[in-house]
Structure 1
């Protein structure tokens, strides 16, 4: 690439990066405390437009306020011709137009093939890297070759409800149970249920932001990257999952339902959607890893706002939407998540230290017609994994009772999200 053009980009991007715009503090920033003290490459992955670039700004402000850094966003369309051989020119340009630094901040680096060669070379020379990327599988493969043992990873999701409440200065401490605070929190949760936590959409409430984001992910990160010829098939699959959060899926059923060539194709498409952070899958827990691998999976979506907009006001199951919100929070808390499938089903099992430690059931509300099913699945999971306590998360019910000698805690999802 032309050196003059690279220098102009550096200066332009530096000005934008250092712009003192307000930032909603992310919970993940706490992990940077330990990451900033070690030489390892810090890799931040997550959905496009989920706030990775803003997190880099927050890292700069909090941990390197008085230090110069080298910043480049590889999502810039003027870098379409940039390849690994241009990294030396980029570094030379940094030296010419910036103060000397030992710290690189690289945004959306997965766009550059073989980027890890340059990063490894400079890491070995003592440089520190903070890198963002929007494709989990691609980044893992690259890091697994040249950068094994030299990186730490942080996954960033759209805003959590707790982050948004913190940004509004709502007191969730001693005044949490006052009527005014409780009402305000519930009002914000109703809004969160509709808009989700994708930063730009949450701030501006313009639906085109979500539609453009979805198109970019589907075309740029999936169809183009993986060379998919049958665009209609993967669009149909993505739409089916987005409109059916919390549903059990089988590759064979989806193959027949969507008229997709083979089970292998369906599996590959789902892998692509998951690698782009658009969806997630979880397994039914089994002590046999083989059985676990071949069991049906449940699918969830990255954001409820995205679901609400892309599904064109489909007839929503509010209980499933709540379940999706709970799943995202469990991922944000970095739990290892499964579901229980037996005679009855329990929505979530949490594994810690090799043991199942929590069972969680999610329902909009408990009433006579669903009490047997909801309690049955939870109790079955508690018996199976010898748990003395189970949790039922609802829209707005709070209770605690004993069932067959075991404690059942019932609480609103919005309250659980703030714990």
Structure 2
């Protein structure tokens, strides 16, 4: 029996380390909303569901995995029968866990009906766009979206069974150990299976799987070669400004719309994250070059092409992933004199530069001058320069600039 097999496997699932999102979920247990988890394949969504089930609902629940090939012909019309069978097998329950539900066209209607009846539902999916479109239409104001990204640095340390140090009072040994772990995190990333099986080619396999299953097949793309070339170009140029028009010319992709559509597809499949330039003009945001970040630094290193190890771009990518976990809005900022600031957080009124180091005087002056000019234009009084291993504070005009190692900042945010 499919449902019994799935339930047995779900109950035996290795829970791994406790994800940080559990704390957020605990605040929503009594709210009459659908909780929706979206993220890259194999990022740990099913494991998170198992953690929620065992921690908060030991009394009983329903679980169905729609990624199971035995449910390939399941349709929205079958949901009532499914509910009937679940009651027959597992008695009456008020909690539903539906894994990869986007595989069932029209699923949102059943979910809405169950929410209206007072049931609690937890859903996962690997496509951000489908979820936002369908839930936005059918469940407006009745769902809470939660993005699940690869392990944070704190979670990575937990995976390695390394206690979190107090960054304010690090001994030389603790600092050395922390830096060693950070270097591994930057290099290997935070995808659970890639960390469990470090000698495997997991990042490349996962990358190809997403390209073909979650993008080419889902959007019925016939020019798969062009899609792969674009994706490879993006993953080889993370943390850099990307002009869709220039990419169109470079890769001979026909039109800017084709580039835009392909990038949108890759983003909704969680391979890349796109950051806009900050501007009060929506049109300027739309036409300005974008910054593209990879979903995982281990995948970037394992798949992307580089003549040499560019630690700086990986550091910036890692900082963005951390900001994405805690900040709703994040942009890059272009000053009137064309100096650039890597990140601007409007809600927090905060500017952040990322630099591998500030040993070169020109680099240090450029980073600080960019912050100073942006702060003047935005009327902001604080900024950060996040580095590999430097620490301090500088006052430049009316701006206070805090310089901090990224490995410390990651544990404090």
The bucket for the TM-score relative to the shorter chain is over 0.9
Within the alignment, does 1:201 sit opposite 2:194 as a pair?
A: yes
- TM-score, structure 2 length as denominator? 0.95
Q: What's the counterpart of residue 395 of structure 1?
A: 388
Give the superposition deviation at 1:312.
Answer: 5.4
Give the superposition deviation at 1:314.
Answer: 4.6
Within the alignment, does 1:371 sit opposite 2:355 as a pair?
A: no
Q: What's the counterpart of residue 38 of structure 1?
A: 31
Unaligned runs of 5+ residues in structure 1 are: 1-7
Give the superposition deviation at 1:192.
Answer: 0.4
**Distance in 1 of aligned mates of 2:327 and 2:51:** 21
Q: Closer, same or farther in 2 for the Cα pair 1:74/1:255, shift >3 Å?
A: same
Aligned length: 408
8 Å Cα contact 2:13/2:50 also seen in 1: no
Q: Closer, same or farther in 2 for the Cα pair 1:404/1:301, shift >3 Å?
A: same
Match of 2:93 among 71, 89, 101: 101
Within the alignment, does 1:170 sit opposite 2:163 as a pair?
A: yes
Q: Closer, same or farther in 2 for the Cα pair 1:176/1:305, shift >3 Å?
A: farther
Match of 2:136 among 133, 140, 144: 144
8 Å Cα contact 1:351/1:357 also seen in 2: yes
Q: What's the counterpart of residue 414 of structure 1?
A: 407
Give the superposition deviation at 1:23.
Answer: 2.3
Give the superposition deviation at 1:290.
Answer: 2.2
- TM-score, structure 1 length as denominator? 0.94
Residues 60-79 of structure 1 correspond to what in structure 2 (within 5 A)? Answer: 60-65=53-58, 67-79=59-71
Give the superposition deviation at 1:334.
Answer: 2.8
Q: Which secondary structure does the structure 2 equivalent of 1:207 belong to? A: coil
Unaligned runs of 5+ residues in structure 2 are: none
Q: What's the counterpart of residue 90 of structure 1?
A: 82
Give the superposition deviation at 1:27.
Answer: 1.4
8 Å Cα contact 2:386/2:403 also seen in 1: yes
**Distance in 1 of aligned mates of 2:13 and 2:263:** 39
**Distance in 2 of aligned mates of 1:97 and 1:44:** 26
**Distance in 1 of aligned mates of 2:350 and 2:186:** 24
Q: Which secondary structure does the structure 1 equivalent of 2:349 belong to? A: strand
Give the superposition deviation at 1:117.
Answer: 1.6
RMSD, aligned CA: 1.6
**Distance in 1 of aligned mates of 2:233 and 2:152:** 25
Q: Closer, same or farther in 2 for the Cα pair 1:319/1:122, shift >3 Å?
A: same
8 Å Cα contact 1:284/1:340 also seen in 2: yes
**Distance in 1 of aligned mates of 2:151 and 2:173:** 24
Q: What's the counterpart of residue 5 of structure 1?
A: none
Q: Per-residue CA shift, 1:119-171, capped at 9, x if unaligned?
A: 12222222110000111111111112222221111111000002222442424
Q: What's the counterpart of residue 376 of structure 2?
A: 383
**Distance in 1 of aligned mates of 2:211 and 2:88:** 38
8 Å Cα contact 2:154/2:164 also seen in 1: no
8 Å Cα contact 2:236/2:306 also seen in 1: no
Within the alignment, does 1:311 sit opposite 2:304 as a pair?
A: yes
Q: Closer, same or farther in 2 for the Cα pair 1:142/1:368, shift >3 Å?
A: same
Q: What's the counterpart of residue 80 of structure 1?
A: 72
Residues 187-336 of structure 1 correspond to what in structure 2 (within 5 A)? Answer: 187-311=180-304, 314-336=307-329
Between 1:371-380 and 1:251-260, the stretch displaced more is 371-380
